[in-house]
Chain A
Amino acid sequence: MVMNSSPFGGEARTRTLVALGLLGQSYPRELARLLAAPVSGVQAALRGLERDGLVAGRLIGRTRTYQLEPRYFALKELQPYLARLSAADPDLTAAVEGLRRRPRRSGKPL
């Protein structure tokens, strides 16, 4: 893994935010897989980012899903910055590109 700067306060926080910028929406277990980090670390990062108003979480069924806070006052500036940071994290972009997220009709064989 490339050791990059962590402008959002720590590697876990920064990479979690960058991943959410790429994915749009995700949940702690998926993020932990992508970041190759412990779920507890990702959850702590998400809690901190939520407190800072950068991400918003909501419960869908039994899963808490997260996305960049659409009401964040500097969202328009944040998004391109995260895109730029993602370009400097090839491990993360490769992991995100390897993730199938498009719908798959139920019953269709894998």
Chain B
Amino acid sequence: MTMSSSSSLAEVAVVVASALNDAGIDVVLTGGACATFYSGGTYLSNDLDFIVRRGGTRRTLDQAMLRVGFQRDGDRYVHPGTIFFVEFPRGPLAIGDDLKITPVVLHLAGGTVAALSATDACRDRLAAFFHWSDRQSLSVAVAIARKQSVEMSTIQDWSQKEGFVASFQEFARAVQGP
């Protein structure tokens, strides 16, 4: 698959994940891109955040990304043919202090990408709502929970552990709707 200005976020995710896997770099897609896929377009992200779990150094990342036309510009990788850019936030793969994150395989645009599950993408957005009172993140979390099958009990337990019971209740009410 080649990239062009009409490539979607999903297509770019597949191309990049595939190039990284070919180079022996184990990555998991997190952040706004997952929210975009699971929320059915309620939220539109331009960036792809991959957490490197194994095999990634600055040099190997530069080489793998260059093979698909991305060049490093500071901390991000940009491509002249697409608006989407790629970053590698420092790990570990965690949501709050929960390190037991099990990625899923997302089937996108004719390929696959290891990514956060819908439940974890929902928790990831909720973390921003809990800690920053970011209501955009709340609405995205609600959209994910409405469109996907998420484990509400897992989210509730985690919210309680993080100390945000009232915020979880607001989220749960919003998911149920008026």
Contact = CB atoms under 8 A, between A and B. Distances in A.
A58 B90 contact: no
Contacts of A52: 90
Interface in B110-129: 127-128
Nearest to A77: B97
Interface stretch (A5-13, A26-34, A66-74, A86-94): A66-74
B89 A73 contact: no
18 contacts: A51-B75, A52-B90, A53-B89, A53-B90, A58-B132, A70-B131, A70-B132, A71-B96, A71-B127, A71-B128, A71-B131, A73-B92, A73-B94, A73-B97, A73-B98, A73-B99, A75-B97, A76-B97
Given A52-B90, A71-B131, 10 more contacts: A51-B75, A51-B90, A53-B90, A70-B131, A71-B95, A71-B128, A73-B97, A73-B98, A73-B99, A74-B97
Interface of B: 75, 89-90, 92, 94-99, 127-128, 131-132
Contacts of B96: 71, 73
Contacts of B95: 71
| Majority DSSP secondary structure for residues of B touching A | loop
Contacts, number: 22
Contacts of A75: 97
Interface string A72-86: 011110000000000
Contacts of B92: 73
Nearest to B131: A70
| Majority DSSP secondary structure for residues of A touching B | loop
Nearest to A53: B90
Nearest to B95: A71
B123 to A, nearest CB: 10
B14 to A, nearest CB: 26
A81 to B, nearest CB: 15
A73 to B, nearest CB: 4
B153 to A, nearest CB: 21
Instruction: Among B95, B99, B132, find the residue whose CB has the most chain A CB atoms closer than 10 A.
Output: B132
Contacts of B127: 71
A82 B128 CA distance: 23
Nearest to A54: B90
Nearest to A47: B75
A71 B94 CA distance: 9
A76 to B, nearest CB: 6
A71 B163 CA distance: 12
Closest 5 A/B residue pairs (Cβ): A73-B94, A70-B131, A71-B127, A53-B90, A73-B97
A75 B96 CA distance: 9
